[in-house]
A and B are shown apart, each in its own frame.
Chain A
Amino acid sequence: MTSEGASAVKVVKERAAAVAAYLVVALGFYMLSLVLPPFMSGLRMPGLPDPVARFDWLFWAFLFLLAFVFTATAIYDALRMLDPLFNVLSSKFGSAVRPGKRIARDIAYALFVALTAIALAPFTEPLGQAAPIARALIGVGTLLILLFLLYDAAKTIYAYVRDKIEEAVAKLVR
């Protein structure tokens, strides 16, 4: 395995462990949000409307928010797990390219995958009863690849815009 491949595997292992840990913590807080708030039912803050006056609701919102934040962190880490895969893929399709070209390529590949699925669909007819299954497989496969490519395009756009904003802010501060 190349050093690039080895470091990719290391990143995936680290992030997978983090995703599992964050999900467990998120689940824990969610369970607590179901169990603990009823113990506070009946307690109210005077002069405020529902639901913010109810202590059980406030406690539930606090625990749910924590669960939400840890879930979001787990999702973010799960997406980061895909980054090494994108890097390996983009090195397969040519070395690092400018953001504009990378986005154009992602859109081109997405269009290619979608059109290939459309072109293949009629040729499943001779499969008889298996045709709907074949079409479903093509559809699901296409959707997964599209999501993968669109995520990469979105990530590239985000990184590009963020860098530009940071540059502009740095200039303004100077």
Chain B
Amino acid sequence: MLSWLGEKVDPTKYLLGYALVVLLAVSEAFPMSLSALIGAALLVAFGVSDGAISFDKALSFVDLELLALLIGVMVVVEVVDRCGTFRYLALKVVRKALRRPALLLIATGLMSALTSLLLSDEAALLLIVAILLSLGKAGGFDPIPLAVTSAIMVNLGGTGTLIGSVPNMAVGIKAGFSFPEFASYLLPCEFALYGVTLALLFLYYRGKLRLGFKELELEEIEVSRVDVAKGAFLLFLMLSLLVAAGIAEFPASAAALASAIAALALSGFDTLEVFQRLDWDTVFFTAAFTVIIGVLESVEALKGLALWLQGAAGGSIALASFLVLFVSGAASLLLPNLIVALSFIPVIEDLPFADKRPLWSSLVLGSNLGGVGLPVSSFVIVMTIGALRREGYEIDPWSITRIGIPLTAAWLAFSAIYLLIRFGLL
């Protein structure tokens, strides 16, 4: 029996249910969504039979605002992707930078990070790595440094905006951050990290970036310029509505849904086909995991972590922010970052600080930045290795770890300094 709970409910089986979800997800026994649904069903059954919650209460834990934001953004991004806008822009940028190795590395990195601000990490990586591999074949250069740079920057990209990643949406909505407010806290840090990362990667790879171009036979960009413009307009519309939502104080989820409806109506694509291509695994995982966290909160099962953080911080918001940053960063090395973010949200809500902006920002940074330390922690790293091997390039997974671990440490250390300065924690 865990002692902090008092007399009401023993949280051990609830925590074991949480551990089960993590284990099922990490061992890839089932898809993420099914793992979370199994865990949610078990925890709700425990909660109902212990009299801690009712079934209606359990359903109320599903965060509809978060789901609306998530689905709205997914629809817009899917439509824009179908318009070919991302592919067109990526090919344009790479062609411009083609004959200068340093510029190509920087352009690849920036393009990867900026694309992942909107696309999912996996989709952004597939897009960029496919272009790099076709250029590698055509130009006879080693695409490994550029592909690894792309994977690392895709992981970094999307840290600074409310819609940049699902953990950001979850944290932003709970924290009550609008789109501009979220960006004002985190986007400067993300841009600064781009500079730090690209400089370190350039130093690491500079000896391997010699390009041996012959006459290139690059693939033609087969997209309609009208569609590309349509996609760019829809992106602009969504970003404008999200900024307007922040200013006029209406929910970001409403702006995302309005953008999604506009995108479906204006694009002319088959709506059902667009729906079929959405990442429902993430949607259902998010819904089920918010129920799990809701039940854990009801039985105060996460209170131990909150109490530990509170005790360790000793009333200092700076120390508490650092602890959230480094503990969530370390946890993201091993666990999917959405699990880390969703698990820390109630912990931060429990902490007795009046201004929690530094804590929320720490959680966003920690859960986003821990992803490239180990091959097991990042699906984008695994995808990069797979894509390179399929094309006949041999790459040792641990060679990425040798870059990933120091980079993650540098990112977290830099973020700690940023938080000190940005929120005046000194």
Contact = CB atoms under 8 A, between A and B. Distances in A.
Interface of A: 93-94, 97, 101, 104-105, 107-109, 111-112, 115-116, 118-120, 122-123
B38 interface: yes
A118 B38 contact: no
B27 A104 contact: yes
Contacts of B26: 104
18 contacts: A93-B29, A94-B28, A94-B29, A101-B27, A104-B23, A104-B26, A108-B20, A108-B29, A111-B16, A112-B24, A112-B42, A115-B17, A115-B20, A116-B42, A118-B13, A120-B45, A122-B49, A123-B49
Contacts of A105: 27, 29
Given A109-B29, A122-B49, A115 B23 contact: no
A101 B28 contact: yes
Given A93-B29, A115-B17, A118-B13, A108 B23 contact: yes
Q: What are the nearest 3 A-B pairs in CB distance?
A: A104-B27, A122-B49, A119-B45
Given A101-B28, A112-B42, A120-B45, 7 more contacts: A104-B29, A108-B27, A108-B29, A112-B24, A115-B13, A115-B20, A116-B42
A145 B198 CA distance: 52
B284 interface: no
Which of B19, B23, B27, B46 has the largest count of A CB atoms less than 10 A from its CB? B27
A113 to B, nearest CB: 10
A94 B49 CA distance: 34
A97 B27 CA distance: 10
A115 B43 CA distance: 9
A105 B13 CA distance: 19
A82 to B, nearest CB: 20
B108 to A, nearest CB: 31
A119 B49 contact: yes
Contacts of A97: 28
A9 B16 CA distance: 37
B162 to A, nearest CB: 33
A115 B16 contact: yes
Contact of A119 (B23, B24, B42): B42
Interface of B: 13, 16-17, 19-20, 23-24, 26-29, 38, 42, 45-46, 49
B interface SS class: helix
A112 B49 CA distance: 18
B385 to A, nearest CB: 15
Given A118-B13, A119-B42, A122-B49, A111 B29 contact: no
Nearest to A115: B42
Given A115-B17, A123-B49, A107 B23 contact: yes
B44 to A, nearest CB: 9
Contacts of A93: 29
Contacts of B16: 111, 115
Contacts of B23: 104, 107-108, 111
A112 B25 CA distance: 13
Given A93-B29, A101-B28, A105-B27, A112 B46 contact: no
Contacts of A123: 45, 49
Contacts of B19: 111
B276 to A, nearest CB: 24
Nearest to A104: B27
Nearest to B35: A108
Nearest to B29: A105
A119 B17 CA distance: 10
A131 B308 CA distance: 42
A150 to B, nearest CB: 15
B46 A119 contact: yes
Contacts of A101: 27-28
B38 A112 contact: yes
Contact of B20 (A112, A120, A122): A112
Contact of A108 (B24, B45, B49): B24
Nearest to A107: B23
A120 B46 CA distance: 9
Nearest to B26: A104
Query: Which of A97, A116, A119 gathers the greatest number of chain B CB atoms within 10 Å?
Result: A119
A105 B23 CA distance: 7
A111 B19 CA distance: 9
Contacts of A118: 13, 46
A116 B38 CA distance: 10
B215 to A, nearest CB: 44
Contacts of B20: 108, 111-112, 115
Nearest to A119: B45
Contacts of B38: 112
Contacts of A116: 42
A118 B23 CA distance: 19
B379 to A, nearest CB: 15
B106 to A, nearest CB: 37
A159 to B, nearest CB: 18
A123 B49 CA distance: 8
B48 to A, nearest CB: 9
Contacts of A107: 23
Contacts of A119: 42, 45-46, 49
A122 B46 CA distance: 9
Nearest to A101: B27
Contacts of B28: 94, 97, 101
